[in-house]
Amino acid sequence: MLGGIGLFVLSLFVFFSPLLGLVKHKFNFLPILGPKETVLVERDGKMVVDTIYAEVPHFAFIDQFGRPFTDKQVEGKVLVVDFFFTRCTTICPKMSVQMQQLQLKLNDEAYNDVVFLSHTVDPEHDTPEVLNAYARKLQADTARWKFLTGNKADIYLQGAEGYYLAAREDVLAEGGFLHSEKFVLVDKQRHIRGYYDGTTAEGMNALAADLKMLLKEERIKAAEAERARRKQ
């Protein structure tokens, strides 16, 4: 029979063993954020519980060159997303500079699958011509950094229900628009993997570190999928 100490040690093992497994297998994976639901699915003839995570919805906007830009054009890409407006004099200039610096920091082949999406919350003023001038001022790499405008209701809905961020008109907010200071990290499956303060160096350092981790995770997933395909 186990003594008191033995029972205590056993209880610790039972409690922590699932966590140890999580550390072993999930340590390098970022959490998936946002709403989720559990469903029953059939696998290998058995019904098992699976988790369905919310995905960023499809979208259709206009880029800084006046061209249609949809989610189809970023399929298989990791996204860094924010909301701003060009007439903003508070947090937007700082956020835009932070995004510019991140773009420069990630300027090598390892980050070819990363695309930056900046959505204006003031589309009536921020026409493609205005956004293009703003992008040139920031020396944006327009192949990777897209400045998006379009239907106001669609942009606000994408912010609220796509990324779970504030993005709307607000007469009480300075400049007449309210939007979050957060940058959003989205994986290739359109799952949200992180939120970061786009006005601080600490937030941007955390984003850069997590982005590197996410790209490693995507490579692992791709390798596993290829191995599974070859076994078929």
Domains of the chain: 60-220 (3.40.30.10)
pTM for the predicted model, two decimal places: 0.83
- Mean pLDDT in residue range 206-219: 95
- Residue 13 has a pLDDT of 31
Query: Could you give the 3-state DSSP secondary structure of residue 120?
Result: strand
The answer to whether the beta carbons of residues 129 and 136 sit under 8 Å apart is no
Enter the tokens of residue 54: 């919310």
Q: Residue 70: its pLDDT value, please? A: 98
CB-based contact 114:141 (threshold 8 Å): no
pLDDT of residue 4: 44
Q: Is the pLDDT of residue 26 over 70?
A: no
Q: Is residue 36 a contact partner of residue 54, using CB atoms and an 8 Å limit?
A: yes
Q: What token pair was written down for 195?
A: 């939120």
Neighbours of 100 (CB within 10 A): 18
Query: How high is the pLDDT of residue 24?
Result: 37
Structure tokens at 73: 């054009």
pLDDT at 125 over 50: yes
CA-CA distance, 216 to 128, in Å (whole number)? 35
* Cα torsion 4, 7, 12, 13: sign: positive
Least confident residue range of 36-40, 99-103, 115-119, 192-196: 36-40
